[in-house]
Structure 1
Amino acid sequence: MTQPPVRSALLALACCVGLAAPAAAHPHVFVSARAEILYAPDGAVRALKHIWSFDEAYSAYITQGLDKNGDGKLTPDELAELAKVNVESLPDVGFFTTAKANGKAQEFGQPADAGLVFENKILTLTYTLPLKTPAHANRSFGIEIGDPSYFVAFDIVDAPDAVITRDAPKGCIVRVARPPKLDPAVQQKLAQEDITATPDTSGLQVTTRALVACP
């Protein structure tokens, strides 16, 4: 069976460190996420900054064998190749992100400033995702973060800084709309899927939306 793009990208990360992919329930990776919407001095949206923290089990799995000097710590240098593979895989899955300026879909450029940090058993990826063309969103700028196939479960953190703006025009307000909790019966059905299956998530809202409204 041909692997869907989301699955292929994450399996590529496993191959990078010489591991076989784990057979796990669906979803297979859990991410606690934050996002920053970055503005240029002229008031245009120029980029997004993603901060994604992987669950403890996946963090341990994907970093096996990367402690090259055996000191029990993972440095940014030891994680550099894994960060590179992460970012190179993301265009295949649309960066798990969509963006619209005044209702018009935006294209992304090449990601930059990618880095991984391993702290308190959690692996965190940070990178900047520029818009291909800076967007003058004089009415609204919206983003949607998540994996519609639910192979990766994104949880936008429940905190005031979950989605914020940087250098936005005065008076802009961010509103975050999280998906509703899945029905227990649906969760049980998804948990029965193995790594070779793609569950039917049509009709389910599993992504988080954020809208910046400016005066």
Structure 2
Amino acid sequence: MTGRALLSALSGIGLLCAFLAGPAQAHPHVWVKAKAEILFAPDGRVRAIRHHWSFDEAYSAYITQGLDKNGDGKLTPDELAELAKVNMDSLPEVEFFTIAKINGRKQEFGTPDEAGLVFDNKILTLTYTLPLKNPPPKSRSFGIEIGDPTYFVAFEIVEAPDAVVTRDAPAGCIVRVNRPPKLDDDVAQKLAQEDITATPDMSGYEVTTRALVACP
């Protein structure tokens, strides 16, 4: 599966075609500014990742068309609930654009929960909790990768102190974030000129952000 699945998940019937025919005549098609919280259990093990994904203005505008049921000019969480459910039903197909490793071993995810969407009339933000299925009791090293390797969706971990943080972590745990280098202008131009229905060859390019939580 590729990032197309997220486009399908978020678009709803008809909106995807309208979006791709409009401002998305290039790769990537959607831009996401992301934050992540690493949630620890009382026994010190990592229990979940709390994702916060804010979509670009153009995509947010297209995806929220027709969702204001009462016509008051505002979108409430209730009006966005169905769209949030579509997200959570479809994101497993792309493994939530997330890889998690504990002590170097890839982890499986459980069923996500606490999912919701908010819209501030410009930006649509999806928040949800992604639990680890069987985390080991000791998590000296917890690593995550966030991104779409096919580059249909461009994830950017925000440049902020709370970009990747821990919650209830044991004393002494530290977080390091490694963002991918910016693509060269010629590469970006080439991607912009490609057929929007084609999957770009991103081999040799780093487009995912890595974060590492190291605990004593």
TM category (shorter chain) comes to over 0.9
Amino acid in the other structure paired with 2:124: L
Could you say if the C-alpha distance between residues 70 and 151 of structure 1 is closer, same or farther in structure 2, counting changes exceeding 3 Å?
same
Q: Deviations over 1:110-136 (max 9, x none)?
A: 000000000141000000000001333
Please list, as runs of the form range in 1=range in 2, the aligned pairs for 1:104-183 lying within 5 A after superposition. 104-183=105-184
* Distance 1:137-1:120 versus aligned 2 partners, 3 A rule: farther
* 1:199 match: secondary structure: coil
For 1:59-96, what per-residue CA distance to the aligned partner results, in whole angstroms no more than 9, with x for missing partners? 00000000011100000000000000011110000100
**Alpha-carbon separation, structure 1, partners of 2:190 and 2:166:** 37
Deviation at 1:197, TM superposition (A): 0.8
Q: List aligned pairs for 1:11-22, cutoff 5 A.
A: 11-16=8-13, 18-21=14-17, 22=19
Whether 1:82 and 2:83 are equivalent positions in the alignment is yes
Which of 152-161 and 127-136 deviates more? 127-136
Give the TM-score normalised by structure 2: 0.94
Match of 1:37 in 2: 38
CA distance in 1, matches of 2:108, 2:16: 33
**What is residue 95 of structure 1 aligned with on the other side?**
96
Secondary structure of 1:132's aligned partner: coil
Q: Which amino acid aligns with 1:14?
A: S
RMSD: 1.2
Cross-structure match for 1:197: 198
| Structure 1 segment 60-75 matched on structure 2, within 5 A | 60-75=61-76
* Stretch moving more, 164-173 or 134-143: 134-143
- In the alignment, is the contact (CA less than 8 A) between 2:67 and 2:79 conserved in 1? yes
Post-superposition offset of 1:199: 0.6
Extract structure 1 runs of 4+ deviating beyond 6 A. none
